Amino acid sequence: MTMRKPIRKAVFPVAGLGTRFLPATKSIPKEMLPIIDRPLIQYAVDEAREAGIEQMIFVTGRGKTAIIDHFDVAFELEATMRDRAKALEILEPTRLAPGNLVAVRQQVPLGLGHAIWCARAIVGDEPFAIFLPDELMIGEPGCMKQMVDAYNRVGGNLISVLEVPHEEVSSYGVIAPGKRDGDLTEVKGLVEKPKADEAPSNLIISGRYILQPEVMQVLETQSKGAGGEIQLTDAMARMLGQQPFHAVTFAGKRYDCGSKTGFVEATLALALAREDMADDVRAMATRLLAQ
């Protein structure tokens, strides 16, 4: 097998405005909203770590510093907890060593493609992962670990996909599928937010990517697409035919926490899966549903 450059870096674009969650997101980043007791961004960083990724690159905007603080040492909090003999292990996963956390600013939210391009100097000349933290992926192993395993087999570019009902495709990036081999599908075409009757399939891109660094040069000249934004999907579409491109069907559950109902679904599903809460939450939900 050819040696592939390992995936050591992940980009987390977190500069979006989060308008669907206003007023909650007026002064709190959407990515800091918790599913039970962990903010969304923490689930994504934990998933990256599990996949062997070391360096987390946050593309932030104004009002997003809470995300950086979350992964810093909280000196006063920790000292007080220590004085009161409270266990600090719960904070362990929130610590990123200085070299493992890099923040770059997207000064104007011009779109996901533009946000990724803002990280070009840090990404440099290596393949890298992208996580959209409002898509919560729950699986064993996690979604990115499954993608890194696939990358080690085929290399090139990979995106995570899942099937949705045909009438829902126009909110997402959609792939035109080619040959299928187990969980891997060749990507023949990519289109962002197509009309339902023009969509090439019902396989949507679901918030996790492994891309080759050349995408940065493509983004450099990418013009605005759907919604007047610089779209990552359009830049990836221009790379098709020049580099291998595969879709990985994620074996697990995905929750769209960028939407209110998806957020509630994730909260309920994760609570029902937790030993310390499941019984109480089930009883509560049963009571509420009977009303």
Minimum distance, C-beta of residue 279 to ligand UTP, in the bound complex (Å): 34
Question: Whole-number minimum distance, CB 229 to ligand UTP, in Å?
Answer: 6
Q: Provide the minimum distance between the beta carbon of 95 and ligand UTP in the complex, in angstroms, as a whole number.
A: 23
- Taking the complex as a whole, the smallest distance from the CB of residue 22 to ligand UTP amounts, in Å, to 8
By C-beta, is 134 or 234 nearer to ligand UTP?
A: 134
Determine the Cα–Cα distance for residues 79 and 35; give it in Å rounded to an integer: 26
- Residue length of the chain: 291
Burial class of residue 276, CB neighbours in 10 A (0-12, 13-18, 19+): exposed
d(CA 160, CA 154): 14
Least separation in angstroms between residue 136's CB and ligand UTP is: 12
Q: Which is nearer to ligand UTP, 14 or 175 (CB)?
A: 14
Least gap, CB of 75 to ligand UTP (angstroms): 28
Peptide bond into 23 cis (omega under 30): yes
Give the residue closest to ligand UTP by C-beta: 16
Instruction: List the Cα angle 12/14/177 in 5-degree steps.
Output: 60
> Whose structure tokens read 């209110």?
260
Tokens for 109?
A: 């939210």
* Residues found near ligand UTP in the complex (CB under 6 A): 13-20, 30, 59, 106, 109-112, 114-115, 132-134, 258
Report phi then psi at 96, rounded to 5: -115, 125
Nearer of residues 30 and 208 to ligand UTP, judged by Cβ: 30
Please give the Cα distance from 106 to 57 (Å, whole number): 12
Q: Which residue is it, tokens 């362990």?
A: 92
CA-CA distance, 107 to 192, in Å (whole number)?
Answer: 24
Tokens standing for residue 130: 């992208």
